[in-house]
Structure 1
Amino acid sequence: MKKSILLVLVGKRKEEAVKVQQILTAWGCMIKTRLGIHDGVLENCSDSGLIMLELVGEDEKKEELERKLSVLPGVTAKLVNLEVTE
C-alpha cells in the first residue's frame, strides 16, 4: 500500500490563502483528503496554517502540484510518499 501526503505550510495565510485555494481547486480531482489547521480563533487568528492533503493519481502530477504551491511567497510544500512493505 502506498500513500502520498502533501504538507503545505502557509506562512502568510491572510495574503496567500486565496492563491493557495485557487491552486487546490484547480487540482481538486487529485485530492482525496484535506485537513487544514491554524492556531487561534476569532480576533486571535494566526497568520500561519498547515494543510495536509492525501493525493491520488500520477506521481508527476503530485510533484507538479508541490512545485506550484512552493513558488508562492511564504508557502512551503513537501510531498511525502509512504509505503508499507511486507
Structure 2
Amino acid sequence: MEKTVMIILVGKRKDTAVSVQKVLTGWGHLIKTRLGIHDGTPDAQSDVGLIVLELIGAEDKKDELFRKISLLPDVNAKVVKVGLDDHPAK
C-alpha cells in the first residue's frame, strides 16, 4: 500500500491563491484530503500558505497536477510517496 502526498508552499498568497485554487478545483477528483495552513492572526493575514494534499488516482494524472501547480509563480511543490513496504522490518 502506497500513499501520495503533495506539499505546496504558496508565497504572495493574496496574489497567487486564486490561481492555485483554480488548478486544484480542476483536478479535485484526485484530491482525497486537503489541509490548508497559514500563520494569520485575527488582525493580519500571512502572505505564505501551506497546503497538504492526499492524492488518489492514476500516476500520470497526479504527475500532471504536480506539473501544473509547479508552473505557477511563487508556488513550490513536492510530491512524497510513502508505503508500508518502505518501512524496515522489526
TM normalised by structure 2 equals 0.90
Structure 2 Cα separation of the partners of residues 61 and 83 of structure 1: 19
Per-residue deviation, 1:16: 0.4
Structure 1 Cα separation of the partners of residues 83 and 33 of structure 2: 17
**Residue-by-residue CA offset, 1:7-31 (whole Å, 9 max, x unaligned):** 0000111100000000000000110
Structure 2 stretches lacking a partner, 5+ long: none
CA RMSD of aligned residues (A): 1.1
Matched residues, number: 86
**Residue-by-residue CA offset, 1:44-78 (whole Å, 9 max, x unaligned):** 21000000000000111111111101111100111
Structure 1 stretches lacking a partner, 5+ long: none
Q: Which residue of 1 aligns with 2:52?
A: 52
User: Does structure 1 residue 8 correspond to structure 2 residue 19?
Assistant: no
Instruction: Could you list the structure 1 runs, at least 4 aligned residues long, displaced by more than 2 angstroms after superposition.
Output: none
Instruction: Output the amino acid matched with 2:4.
Output: S
